[in-house]
Structure formats: C-alpha cells, structure tokens
Structure 1
Amino acid sequence: MQGNFTLQHYRLNPEVIEARLTAFERNAELFTDDNLAARAVVLDAVQQVYQLLQLNRSDARWGAHLRTLKQQANALETRLREADAGFFQTLRHVIRSGEHNAASLRRLFDGHTRYRPGRLGQIHRGYDALDALVQGLIRAEQVPEPVQALDRDMVHYEPTPARAVLDLVDQVQLTADDVFYDLGAGLGHVAMLVHLMTGAAARGVEIDAAYSRHAQGCAEELGLPDVQFLNCDARDPDYADGTVFFYVHPVYRKRIGSRARDPSQRGPQSAHYGVHSRCLYLRRRPAAMAAVASSRSRAGTCASRL
C-alpha cells in the first residue's frame, strides 16, 4: 500500500494528492475488517496530507483546492477509523464471549507483526502494526492523564512492544498453571496478552491509579476475570503465588525473590529484555537473573520463572 507523501513535498501538486486520495477511497480491500495494517499506513498518509495543506495554505496555486482536499481527506479518515472501530468491536466481542482460542488469536497477532517465532535474539526496536492492534483493543486513545508523580528512583512508562510479549510467551512457555506478574503494568497490555495466549492468571502492578483503573476496566470489558491489576508500588505486594515475573527495574528482583516461592518447586527459567538492546534473552538459571539484569541495563525488562 503506497501511502507515502513525504518525498518531494514541494513538488506534489493538488491534482496528485486528489488522485491518491481517490485511489484509497476506491480500494474496497482497504476497508475489510482485518486489513488494519494497511489502514494504518493510509491514516499516516492522511495526516501528511493535512500537513501539506497547512504548508501550502498561502500558495495561490493551492487556494481553490484546499477546502475540497481537506474535505476529501476528512471523509477518508472517517471511513478508515470506522473500519478500525468495527474491527475492534468484533474482536472484543469474540474475546468477551469466549469464542476465541489461543491459537486463533496468535494467528491474528502473527499476521500483524514482523516478529517470527524460533529466531532468538530478535531486535524489538520501535513499534509495528501489532501495537496498533493492541492499542485499539485496550482503548489506548481513551487513557486519562497519569496522576502519580514519579519519584527519583521510579521508572517512566514506556510501553513494551507487543511483539516482545510474543517473544516472551514463546521462550518462557507459560501455562494455565502459572501466575504471571507484570510489574509496572502501565495500561495492562502485557498481562492481558500473556493471559489470552497462555491461559496463565495474570496480575499487573501499577502505581499510577489512572493507568491501573483503565487497565482493570479493559480486562473487565473483555471478560478476563483471571487478569487483575493492583494499584500500588511494585515493591509492596506479596508475590508468594507468582511463578513468572516481568519487570523494568532490576532492584525489584531482590524484593520479589524474598517473597516468591522456592525456585526448586518449578522448572527454572528466566529471561531478560533490555530496553536499550531491545532483545529478549532466555536464561536457565534463576540465580543468574540479578547479574543479568544489572549487567545488561538498569532500565532493562526482565521475566523470571520461579
């Protein structure tokens, strides 16, 4: 789908813009439910059209076209967003009604990402269409402003790329017998994705009340009673029931380790996801997690099976 208006902005004329918008309008495939990735490209192109119109608002050659092109772009954007809304409404209904299964959801997710299972050390830099899918699913556009001011030792919220969660699920291999904790859960997409793909009970720990309320409301809307969010400092809960932990700040490792179950009770696995390296690494010795976390990055994200 060619939606790039960024090349040679100043040489594009109104007729070219109109022709491209018209081509998008006539592309019926673009508006099918599952063509989310293509719509994201065109929505980006529409935003660039708005920028071009603003840039050329004083150019006499564009004067007669500004209003009609803006109306055309607005109408196209509305159709695209309505198609997205219909897709997300259907997806929420399928999840809420229990019609989904982990395999069908995984096929959907795999179709919207460049991540491919079985290739260790993949770089998860930036975001892709899967993140747009997940953000729409959890209604990220409705997120309120955070209410919790960060102390010096707190970590700012940076959403984990959704494909890194697929990587996590593939490497750690959670089951319905696990209890997964996401520390610093933000809007909750990691906990919800892990539960949907593995059946593991999931707990998200988030200090910001606005984020926590939003995440809990989304889990309830999707009918996920085994996904719960705790509004508290990540160092405070009792993690005795936890088997897998996913977190940003390695200082939490010591707090968790003193409260979690004996590692000998479960098959030990651990993983480290570096915010800077953007890779997820599987480790077999949980005792090595503290060293891995501190040596990789103080801003790394870790997953540890206990």
Structure 2
Amino acid sequence: MDIKLPQIIAEIKADISLNERDITLYEKNNFDSRTNAIDFIDFHILDRIASLQQQTGRNEELHALKKRAEKLENELEEINAELFVHLKEQIRTGGYTQSSFQMMISKYFGDHFFDGKKNTEMGYNNLDIFINGVLLGETIPTLTIEPKPEMVFYQQTPAKIIFELANLVKAKPDDVFYDLGSGLGQVPILINLISGVVCKGIEYEPAYCNYAQGCALNLNLLNIEFINADARKADYSKGTVFFMYTPFAGSIMQTVLTMLQNEANKRVIRIFTYGPCSPVIAKENWLTCVNGPATDFYKLYEFKSNIN
C-alpha cells in the first residue's frame, strides 16, 4: 500500500465529517453554501476517491467512504429539489411577482445582482443553478434541426446579466420585450417575473421553443410568448425593447438590424446586447450606445435608436 494512502483517507474522512456536521447546510434558505458543498463533494471528495480506486484497486475503506459521500450529496441535492418545488408553486400561485420576486432572490443571494457596477464576476455561478432549478423543467431537449450558417449555437445568458438587464430596462407597462434567440427561455421568463412586462422570445429551434413555452405555462406566466421562427422572418412591430446574446452573425445579423431600423423609424426602440455582437451593433449609425464603447464581450450594453 502507498505510504500516503492512510493519510489521504484520513483527509477524506475529515472532509466528509466536516460537511456532515454542518447543520446549516440542511437549512433550506442556505442554498449557496449547500450548492458549494455539493460541488466540493463531487470534485474534491468523489473524484479523489475514484482516482484512488483506479490506483489501488478494490479497497473496502475507500468504497465505504464513497457510499458515505454519495449519501451526503444525495441528501443535500434533495433539499434543493424540495426548495425548487416550493418556489415553483409560489410563482405559479402568484406569490412571487416583480418586487416580491426580487426580494426572494435577495434573500438567497443578496442584492448585488441588480446592480451592474457591483456585478463584476464573469461566467456562471450558483445563481444560474438556482434559476435553472426554479424556472426550467427537468429534461433539457436536444436539437431537432441544424442551425443555418451564421446562426450561433445556443448558450445560456448568465442569470446575473439578466437581472442587470431587468434593472437597466426599467420596463413601462406599454413596453414589449423581445429576446432574439431565446433558447430555453430564461431571459423572457425572468424579465417577465421581475418587471411584469409582456415578453416574446424568437427561437429557431422548435424543441427549445416548445420547451420554453411549457416552462412559462407551468409557472402560470401568461404574458410570455415563444415564437418558433427565423429571426429574419419575425414580426417586430410591437417591440420596444430587444435583447441579443449574439444569436447570429454576418448577413443574418445585418438583415435583422435592418428590420429593427425600420421599426425605429416608427418609434424609439432600445437594444441590449451581450457578447461578441456588441461591437458589431455599435457600428450602426442609427443607434447610440448609452453606456460605453461596446468593446467588452462580458459587459451588457444598451443602445437607443436615434430620434429622426
């Protein structure tokens, strides 16, 4: 036996015991710490045990530790699952809307996600896991059609960016919000929950579109519509606020921008962007970026159409 193995096993035992004794992890409101603990069990304990088992072969002590860690992980995941069921029901029955929904999020994560100046962390975090658990169904659909050239494969908008977006939009009752390339529907669903504004998602993949509509209906959110369409053929006549997380590029982007420019000739519109599409849209002379040069792919930008 490797002389270090007893020491490593002792470290693993200590790590498991530390989490088992932490009663705060079993408090439903302590989602953030519990999710961190689940990640720790996955990547620091179970992965470490698996690596040791490959090196040492059958080891009864490691096998017992694996079972113990899996039991702990399952218990913590079950608490999260029960929490999601409870929150879904609260949304479904009208318990969390607009300000009350934001207050609920603040209870779990604080309020810095509503302020882009404080929201400097890049990428995804536990808020995304939380939002996915509350808003989405269990089985994510697979693609049924190949995206056309210049269409970008779906990537989820980080939840913190959606909260920042809602804060910047400051939607009025007569606004209509469009998400171009809406994917699984998180952006329209969240914007509607936070602001109450009518939301429409334009999505080319029919399985994603149907899934998103099902999620909205499951939460009893009636002012959301997901439209299965090529963005170049969609009707934007009711739109006042638009969002794009780089859903397409090249000629498709230029065609859609021309369509939006035609709408801007009838009324002032705002376009919010995230990702590589921002500097492209910044070149449009009929738009003015109100919060910077639009050069940072990881910053949310707001564009306003010029008044004729």
Q: Aligning the two structures, in what range does the TM-score lie when normalised by the shorter sequence? A: 0.7 to 0.9
Q: CA deviation at 1:297?
A: 8.1
Please name the residue that 2:49 is paired with: 53
| One-letter code aligned to 1:84 | N
* Residue pair 2:122, 2:298 contacting (<8 A) in 1 also: no
Please name the residue that 1:255 is paired with: 259
State how far apart, in whole Å, the 1-side matches of 2:121 and 2:198 are: 25
Q: CA deviation at 1:245?
A: 0.5
Please show how residues 1-306 of structure 1 align to structure 2 within 5 Å.
13-48=8-43, 49-60=45-56, 63-110=59-106, 111-112=108-109, 115-120=112-117, 122-123=119-120, 125-139=122-136, 141-247=138-244, 248=246, 249=248, 250-251=253-254, 252-259=256-263, 262-264=266-268, 269-275=270-276, 287-289=286-288, 296=295
| One-letter code aligned to 1:186 | G
Q: How high is the TM-score relative to the length of structure 2?
A: 0.81
Structure (1/2) with the larger helix percentage? 2
- C-alpha distance 19-244 of structure 1, shift in aligned 2 (>3 A): same
| One-letter code aligned to 1:189 | Q
Please state whether the residue corresponding to 1:56 is helix, strand or coil.
helix
| One-letter code aligned to 1:155 | V
State how far apart, in whole Å, the 1-side matches of 2:99 and 2:124 are: 23
Please name the residue that 1:6 is paired with: none
- CA deviation vs aligned residue, 1:54-97 (integer Å, no higher than 9, x gap): 11114559823121111111111111111011110111011000
* Residue pair 1:269, 1:286 contacting (<8 A) in 2 also: no
Count of aligned pairs: 290
| One-letter code aligned to 1:239 | Y
| One-letter code aligned to 1:224 | L
> Which of 32-41 and 60-69 deviates more?
60-69
Q: How high is the TM-score relative to the length of structure 1?
A: 0.82
- CA deviation vs aligned residue, 1:172-223 (integer Å, no higher than 9, x gap): 2113321100010011000001000001011111111111111111000000
* Residue pair 1:172, 1:305 contacting (<8 A) in 2 also: no
| One-letter code aligned to 2:258 | K
Q: CA deviation at 1:273?
A: 2.6
Q: How big is the alpha-carbon RMSD for the aligned residues of Structure 1 and Structure 2? A: 3.5
% identical aligned pairs: 28
Please state whether the residue corresponding to 2:53 is helix, strand or coil.
coil
- CA deviation vs aligned residue, 1:127-185 (integer Å, no higher than 9, x gap): 12211111112336510211221222111111111111111111121133211000100
* Residue pair 1:130, 1:163 contacting (<8 A) in 2 also: yes
Structure 1: any 5+ residue segments left out of the alignment?
A: 1-8
